[in-house]
Structure 1
Amino acid sequence: MTNNFQVVLGKGGFGVVCHGYLNNEHVAVKVLSQSSTQGYNEFKTEVELLLRVHHVNLVSLIGYCDEGNDLALIYEYMGNGNLKEHLSGKRRGSVLNWSNRLKIATESALGIEYLHIGCKSPMVHRDVKSTNILLGETFEAKLADFGLSRSFLVGGNTHVSTNVAGTIGYLDPEYYQKNWLTEKSDVYSFGIVLLEIITGQPVIEQSREKPYIVECAKSMLANGDIDSIVDPNLHRGYDKSSPWKALELAMSCINPSSMERPNMTRVAHELNECLEIYENLSKRSQDANSTNSMGHGTSFISDTPSAR
């Protein structure tokens, strides 16, 4: 299937991911490394979850191999890699524009929302991060890697007590300190991803004055200048109100108190509003420019604030 693991797409805690073909269709094959710290339990968790959940914004499981020490998962192939590769510039090509970033964020949020409220029983992903958001040929976004996912109970129970698992930089501090897992832990992690999308900055960068992206964003936010916060690779190809709203949403997601964070339904709704703001103002700008090119009308001036 993989032609002896010839084309490696990536590596992670589980093992290596290779490109392959199944019935002449592209697939991604994740093979468990013998030295993997995740092992059979995570493999079993991912298989069981993906066999029962199906959503347009979750990566589909096509099949698996469970034969002795040979464990492998076969997924649909996502041709544009993961979100982090594009934000960091590791994948050559055009920079993701603001519209594409908002669409990717919205679709990822809808995938997480499905885990929280669409599954029976509801699930917490526990490892939401930019490397686990995969992009298809038209940059459609799908959430991947469910080996750490856990069910949580609804009703009177507010949390599940469990050992901490996830990725440094994305971990909910409340979960880390108390071992209390809730769906709001995913919301915190998604808030960090949203900061990555807005700023284009890595989550942890030791060369920065403030290495952690949360402290870095708070410091820049104090200056009240959105252009100093948004990824300079966008060359200000956005109206100011849309990234302001997205930034305020990200900061609400990373509130130290889980009770104060929005749920993923609210997050997806507000991201869609950010996209609508951007598209409406872009259309007005284009209409105004079209009018000017015909020799009449006034120039378009954005009525959005430069700071809040």
Structure 2
Amino acid sequence: MVYTEKGKPQVLLFFTYLSLWCITISTYVKAENTDSMKLGDILNASATSKLCSKQGRYCMHFNQKPDPENLTYLSIFGKGKDDWLVWISNRNQPVDINSAILSLNYSGVLKIESKIGKPIILYASPPPFNNSSYIVATLLDTGNFVLKDIQKNFVLWQSFDHPTDSLLPGMKLGVNLKTGENWSLVSSISDTILSPGPFRLEWEATRKELTGQLINREGGESGDIARADMCYGYNTNGGCQKWGEAGIPTCRNPGDKFDNKPVYGNDNIVNNIENASYGISDCQEMCWSNCSCFGFKYLYENGTGCVFLESTEGLNVASSGDDYFYILIKNADHKVFDKWIWICAGMGTLLLIIGLSILLRALMKRKQVLREEERIRMQIEIQDLEASRRYCNGDDLEGDLSNGDDLKVFSYSSIIVATSGFSSENKLGQGGFGPVFKGILPSGQEVAVKKLSKTSGQGMTEFRNELTLICKLQHTNLVQLIGHCIHEQERILIYEYMPNKSLDFFLFDSTRRKLLNWNKRFNIMDGIAQGLLYLHKYSRHKIIHRDLKASNILLDDNMNPKISDFGVARMFTKQETEANTNRIVGTYGYMSPEYAMEGVFSTKSDVYSFGVLLLDIISGEKCNSMYCEDRPLNLVGHAWELWKEGVVLQLVDPLLNDTFSEDEVLRCVHAGLLCVEENADDRPTISNVIAMLTNKIKVDVLPKKPAYYGRTRVFDEETYGEEVGVDSTHENSDSHVQSLLKCRDEIIKFTE
């Protein structure tokens, strides 16, 4: 191109405009038909400019149906046969549809702008801002619009923290303990005017229930919406009306209702309320409370404002038409209805008395049958137990026997003498099985006597299970079973005596914990792992313990750990990898998710429990002790948060006074978090865990968010502690009950 020196500025200006136009076009293209926005991207109000999640379940764009004033809202829609609105960003400040944009600028500010009103700041990065290219805003397939620093894997802002009128899976109701913001749902005025309407649904933390509130139009609140179990009146709009309360007009009766009908001859209009902030539900509430009102409808085409009828005289109902009113229909039969209620109530009471009498007789007869069945069952169980004893000793035993290291059968009288009649002075503790006493045999050997409580949730099955499994197990990190005794209804197991009681006796006491320095804690972790390795790999049969926790780890003279309590353990062949049960037994907080939720257990179930136990030992805290008002997390969730933030050494028990190996602590926490992975296949084997703890292998795998991130129900048991605990072994014939318990606790505690 040839041009004069005089024309040079015009040519340069032309290319400058061309370049800016190209940049703008490319920016819009990047924001269209994608799920993410990067720094510098813009989403405008055109019909083609939108963000859609990867699988197309949700799309975000400016609403293409503006109100009469050409105002619009940035909204998220669920995709289907008919799109449905699930979130509104600027419901308090609609913007001009012809100039509205959503931008993520190079200063890290996510905002909505138009030619009217001030910019709406959704998020602004705190200074100093380094123009990081790692900040991305993404619409997820959950419907959550998330602004995230992908380098740090940290969420800066998300739409789920700002609910409007819809609750999607993953959203919460209640109070955000981090920001103090109240998560609640507020209705819209109408389908086109999305400003906050008259109803709010929120979680009431004190009463621990969902409550609804009717918002006063002057800015206050006019009381709770009644719960359905307190309703007697007509259900008109998804809620209900309580009768007999102050403020409810006596002219309304149960069964009265509003019915939407086409009418003509509507000359009985009382007045119009031209306030566009009133929705149809406001009109209904005002008409219902006013005895002079017999019907209502909205004033404006967008569903706002109110029109009221003073009477229905001269009003005719048409078969069709354009003028529809909600007409009050009186229930003339409510008195007759009340009479039948009393008659039915009397008949129901009589039938109930007769039914209870029949049921009582049936229960008494059933009790006799069950008593006889129990007697027969006990005889069978005792025969099975004798077979288990012969399995352990390899021959038939009669009376008190002592064949080398074989299992001994003790007489009841010898147990009475050894424990001084089960005296309280000899009591060591209480567990799910029953009380544990110290005893001294005639040879002078000290033993621990475990007596099955008659009220225990465990029975002959657990007794026989432990007797069969542990009698053949020989390992320095497993407690040694010496013998047993059966006398009438009494079932007793005799173990080697552990003078230092159990791990929880030291670990969860602020004074005794000082005796556990880091070297002792590390040796305890390694010893437990060695015991598990023997059970999983080197014993004659593969053994799954199913109840590994601090109270089931006993300590000898030198604080060496020994795994105990095999009452709920299961035996596998070497070829088996997993099993399934509908009888969930164990301790909440230490049970793996697949076991607690589905009844599936394997060696990886024990690995999960060991991971929780590692974090217990490192921190000196119980797995649910991290919960407080401003941190609704269990110990696993707390450790994960510290790991993400790179400050995992803060997990270490402060009583250790920095006298620990940072490298060993990091390896132990890393191993622990890998052990508590949600998917069993992602967890390491116990042999790999040992290699990690002893630094024999280099681990490059990073842990993911653990299974039980928030607080769960945990029942602790002091097997060898000084205090009497509660039963930690729970049985249920339906594993779905466990799922419901977990879901209920997570909703109530607002876990993240």
TM-score tier by shorter-chain length is 0.7 to 0.9
2: CA distance, partners of 1:109 / 1:227: 22
Alignment of 1:56 with 2:476, yes or no, is: yes
- Asked if 1:258 is matched to 2:680, the reply is yes
- Structure index of larger Rg: 2
Instruction: Say if 1:241 and 1:90 are closer, same or farther in 2 by CA, change over 3 A.
Output: closer
Aligned to 2:420: 3
Q: Which has the higher strand share?
A: 2
1:21-58 deviations in whole A, cap 9, x for unaligned?
Answer: 11211110000111011111101111111211111110
Which residue of structure 2 lines up, in the alignment, with residue 177 of structure 1? 597
Q: What is the CA-CA distance between 1:154 and the residue it aligns to?
A: 3.7
Greater Cα offset, 137-146 or 239-248: 239-248
SS of 1:228's equivalent in the other structure is helix
d(CA) in 2 for partners of 1:119 and 1:128?
18
Counterpart residue number, 2:571: 151
Structure 1 unaligned spans of 5+: 275-308
Structure 1 runs of 4+ aligned residues shifted over 4 Å read none
Aligned AA (1:220): L
Q: 2:437 aligns with which of 18, 23, 44?
A: 18
Q: Distance in 2 between matches of 1:56 and 1:215?
A: 33
Residue 202 (str. 1) matches residue 202 (str. 2): no
Q: CA RMSD in A?
A: 1.6
- 1-side partners of 2:544 and 2:533: how far apart? 10
In the TM superposition, residue 211 of structure 1 has moved relative to its aligned partner by 4.1
Deviation at residue 213 of structure 1 after TM alignment:
1.3
Which amino acid letter does the alignment assign opposite residue 498 of structure 2?
M
Secondary structure, counterpart of 1:58 in structure 2: coil
The answer to whether the aligner puts 1:229 opposite 2:651 as a matched pair is yes
Q: For residue 636 of structure 2, what is the amino acid of its counterpart?
A: V
Pair 1:106 & 2:523 matched = no
| Preserved contact between residue 226 and residue 240 of structure 1 (Cα < 8 Å) | no
Alpha-carbon distance, 1:227 to partner: 3.0
The alignment partner of 1:111 has SS state of helix
Q: CA deviation at 1:235?
A: 0.8
**Aligned position for 2:247:** none
Contact residue 479 and residue 495 of structure 2 kept, 8 A: yes
Runs of 5+ in structure 2 lacking a partner?
1-417, 697-752
Amino acid at match of 1:130: A
Partner of 2:291: none
**Aligned mates of 2:513, 2:584 — CA distance in 1:** 37
Q: How does 1:117-156 map to 2 (within 5 A)?
A: 117-155=537-575
CA distance in 2, matches of 1:14, 1:175: 21
- The 1:40/1:60 distance shift into structure 2, 3 A limit, reads same
Matched residues, number? 273
Report the residue type matching 1:217 in the other structure.
A
8 Å Cα contact 1:227-1:236 kept in structure 2: no
- Please tell me whether the aligned partners of residues 517 and 656 of structure 2 are also in contact (alpha carbons under 8 angstroms): yes
Answer whether contact 1:152 1:182 (CA < 8 A) is retained. Answer: no
Who is 2:663 aligned against?
Answer: 241
Q: Distance in 1 between matches of 2:512 and 2:609?
A: 27
Calculate percent identity across the aligned residue pairs: 37
1:297 corresponds to: none
Give 1:239 shift.
Answer: 2.6
Q: Contact conserved, 1:82 with 1:130, CA < 8 A, in 2?
A: yes
Cα gap change, 1:93 to 1:270, in 2 (>3 Å): closer
Q: Which range moved further: 83-92 or 222-231?
A: 83-92
Helix, strand or coil at the partner of 2:694: helix
How far is 1:75 from its partner?
0.3
> How far off is 1:119 after superposition?
2.1
| 1:227 counterpart letter in structure 2 | L
- The residue type equivalent to 1:16 in the other structure is P
Alignment correspondent of 1:271: 693
> Aligned letter for 2:559?
F
Give CA-to-partner distance per residue, 1:95-124, whole Å, 9 cap, x none. Answer: 311111110011111111111112222110
Q: Does 1:35 align with 2:452?
A: no
> SS where residue 146 of structure 1 aligns?
coil
Partners of 1:252 and 1:262 within 8 A in 2: yes
Query: Higher helix share goes to which structure?
Result: 1
Q: Which of 574, 577, 580 is the matching residue for 1:161?
A: 580
1:83 alignment counterpart: 503
Q: Residue type matched to 2:653 in 1?
A: D
Per-residue CA deviation, residues 121-169 of structure 1 (Å, 9 max, x unaligned), is 21100000011111011101100000000012443x4311113211011
Letter in 2 for 1:165: V
Counterpart in the other structure of 2:294: none
Q: Could you say what secondary structure the match of 1:127 adopts? A: coil
SS in 2 for 1:248: helix
More divergent stretch after superposition (202-211 vs 6-15) = 202-211
- Structure 2: how far apart are the matches of 1:258 and 1:25? 43
Amino acid at match of 2:452: L
Q: TM-score of the superposition, structure 2-length normalised?
A: 0.35
**Offset of residue 10 of structure 1:** 1.1
> Partner amino acid for 1:199?
S
Residue by residue over 1:38-93, the C-alpha shift from the partner in whole angstroms, topping out at 9 and shown as x without a partner, is 11110111111121111111000111111221111100011111111211126747
Counterpart of 1:292?
none
CA distance in 1 between counterparts of 2:594 and 2:565 reads 23
Alpha-carbon distance in 1 for matches of 2:451, 2:500 = 20
2:675 and 2:641 map into 1 onto residues whose CA distance is: 17
